[in-house]
Chain A
Amino acid sequence: EPEVTQTPSHQVTQMGQEVILRCVPISNHLYFYWYRQILGQKVEFLVSFYNNEISEKSEIFDDQFSVERPDGSNFTLKIRSTKLEDSAMYFCASSESAVRGNTIYFGEGSWLTVV
Chain B
Amino acid sequence: GNSVTQMEGPVTLSEEAFLTINCTYTATGYPSLFWYVQYPGEGLQLLLKATKADDKGSNKGFEATYRKETTSFHLEKGSVQVSDSAVYFCALSGDGGSQGNLIFGKGTKLSVKP
Q: A-side interface residues toward B, CB under 8 Å?
A: 4, 31, 33, 35, 41-45, 48, 55-56, 58, 91, 93, 95, 98-109
Contacts and interface: CB of A to CB of B under 8 A. Distances in A.
Contact of A56 (B46, B49, B100, B106): B100
Chain B residues touching A, range: 20 to 34
Contact of B42 (A93, A95, A108): A108
Contact of A103 (B42, B49, B101, B106): B49
Interface of B: 32, 36, 41-46, 49-51, 89, 91, 93, 95, 97-107
Contacts of B45: 106
A45 B43 contact: no
B101 A108 contact: no
Nearest to B52: A101
12 contacts: A4-B43, A42-B106, A43-B102, A56-B100, A99-B99, A100-B99, A101-B93, A102-B99, A103-B46, A106-B43, A107-B43, A109-B43
Given A56-B98, A101-B49, A103-B46, 12 more contacts: A4-B43, A31-B100, A43-B44, A43-B102, A43-B104, A45-B100, A45-B103, A91-B43, A100-B32, A103-B49, A104-B102, A108-B42
A95 B104 CA distance: 17
A99 B46 CA distance: 16
A41 B107 CA distance: 9
B43 A108 contact: yes
Nearest to B96: A100
A45 B102 contact: yes
Contacts of A107: 43
B32 to A, nearest CB: 4
A33 B100 contact: yes
Contacts of A106: 36, 43-45
A38 B75 CA distance: 24
